[in-house]
Amino acid sequence: MVTEFVWLIAAAALTWRVVWRISDFALTHRILDVPNARSSHTQPTPRGGGLGIVVTLMLALAFLWWRSAIDVHVMLALRSGGLAVAWFGPLYDRRGVTAGQRLRVHFVAAVLAIWLLSVGPGAQPPFSDIPSWLSYVLLVLGIVWSINLFNFMDGIDGIAASEGLFVSLATALLITLKGGPEGWVSLALVAAGAHCGFLLWNWPPAKIFMGDVGSGFLGFWFSALAVALHLQGTLSIWTSICLTSIFIADATLTLFVRASRGERVYEAHRSHVYQRLARRLASHAKVTSLVWLINIVVVLPVAYLSSIRDDAAPWVTIGLVLVLSVVCISLKAGAHSD
């Protein structure tokens, strides 16, 4: 375990250094996120810092595969799909590709990941109570939604990186408590380190933004990793859904409300619950800290319960998402900006 925590620190240091270089490059070449009426920030800020997380995790995947800590199918699934999503993020940022083109890339990345993970050694059928083909369709849709979900939720300083740090640490903890493979624990802790390194730059007030290169990649990373853990029998996908339940509730309800009004769901807005709270509290740090509090006090214990009670995991997870959804409704998720 000492070795794994050394990797965590090394991943944090590497990511911090890469983000530093990205920040210098972005400032020199004026790659800035300029605030507008729908922005949650007030100063032009470098973007694209999420590339630091991508670089660290790609190197970690190659290293862990080389050490036989993870299977080649897992390495290829996470690398190929993750790089495809990360590559098209900046293109969309610069309006080089349309939303439809980007969505097609998301589907290709999801299908490729599911195929590689399902043919790997030791892979189990996703769900025993529904047809296999339907299971795989649902998993593909889940990955595509997760990619966009993280993009929607990356709207104030520190929130997406904090969520990624929590999910990574919690995943490592739950796998350890279940006696799972050390390779998975190592990968989760390296991911935690990468988020730490980036969060040093992104904590309010942020010195650099994640950008689509990071948020889309993280949405793919956590959903594809959840599928891999589930298919290998290491950690139920219901537990992984628990860990991201705050993002799922806020993003899904906001999308539904906006779509019901006939709005373009991909158009920038400020009607997520976290954005409304940031304006009400006049602080990004308070909202991000509140998400941390809920994750630790509520989400983590429920996720642990789902990890030790396989028979009740679906109902525990659905119950948690419903409770958080009620909270989001009470806070007017998707309502017009104040």
pLDDT of 29 strictly over 90: no
- What is the spatial distance between Cα 306 and Cα 317, in angstroms, rounded to a whole number? 7
Quick one: residue 233, left, alpha or beta (phi over 0 = left, psi -120 to 50 = alpha)?
A: left
Place of tokens 């240091």: 13
pLDDT of 138 strictly over 90: yes
Residues facing 32 on adjacent strands = 46
pLDDT of 98 strictly over 80: no
**Percent of the chain predicted with pLDDT > 70:** 93
pTM as predicted: 0.94
What's the pLDDT band for 171 if we cut at 50, 70, 90?
very high
pLDDT of 173 strictly over 90: yes
Q: How many CA atoms lie within 13 A of 95 on its CB side?
A: 1
**Percent of the chain predicted with pLDDT > 90:** 72
Number of domains in the chain: 1
Is 13 among the domain residues? Answer: yes
Torsion, Cα 105 108 111 114, to 10 degrees, reads -60
Please tell me the predicted confidence (pLDDT) of residue 267.
Answer: 73
- What is the spatial distance between Cα 168 and Cα 163, in angstroms, rounded to a whole number? 8
Please tell me the predicted confidence (pLDDT) of residue 273.
Answer: 94
More confident residue, 41 or 110: 110
More confident residue, 200 or 101: 200
Cβ neighbours of residue 175 under 8 Å, at least 6 residues apart? 181, 184, 185, 188, 229, 234, 235
Q: φ, ψ for residue 18 (rounded to 5)?
A: -65, -40
pLDDT of 91 strictly over 90: no
What's the pLDDT band for 125 if we cut at 50, 70, 90?
confident
Residue 273: count of CB within 10 angstroms of its CB: 25
Is 305 among the domain residues? Answer: yes
Kindly report which listed range (46-50, 88-92, 135-139, 297-301) carries the lowest average pLDDT score: 88-92
Length of the chain, please?
Answer: 338
Kindly report which listed range (92-106, 146-160, 171-185, 226-240) carries the lowest average pLDDT score: 92-106
More confident residue, 35 or 207: 207
Is 275 among the domain residues? Answer: yes
Is 52 among the domain residues? Answer: yes
Is 16 among the domain residues? Answer: yes
Please tell me the predicted confidence (pLDDT) of residue 95.
Answer: 59
Tokens describing residue 39: 């922005």
Is 338 among the domain residues? Answer: no
Please tell me the predicted confidence (pLDDT) of residue 100.
Answer: 80
Is 303 among the domain residues? Answer: yes
Mean pLDDT of the chain: 90
Is 36 among the domain residues? Answer: no
Average pLDDT for 65-76: 94
- The residue among 57, 99, 69, 105 whose CA lies nearest residue 84 is 105
Tokens describing residue 97: 């590709």
Q: The domain containing residue 97 runs over which residues?
A: 2-27+46-330
* CA–CA distances in Å: residue 92 to residues 18, 25, 160, 246: 22, 19, 19, 26
Torsion, Cα 36 42 48 52, to 10 degrees, reads -160
Measure the N-to-C terminal CA separation of the chain; round to a whole number of Å: 48
What's the pLDDT band for 7 if we cut at 50, 70, 90?
confident
Interior angle at CA 269, CA 266 and CA 275, nearest 5: 125
Q: If you write DSSP's letter for every residue of 95-143 in order, what string do you get?
A: TSS-HHHHHHHHHHHHHHHHHHHHTSTTPPPS-SSS-HHHHHHHHHHHH
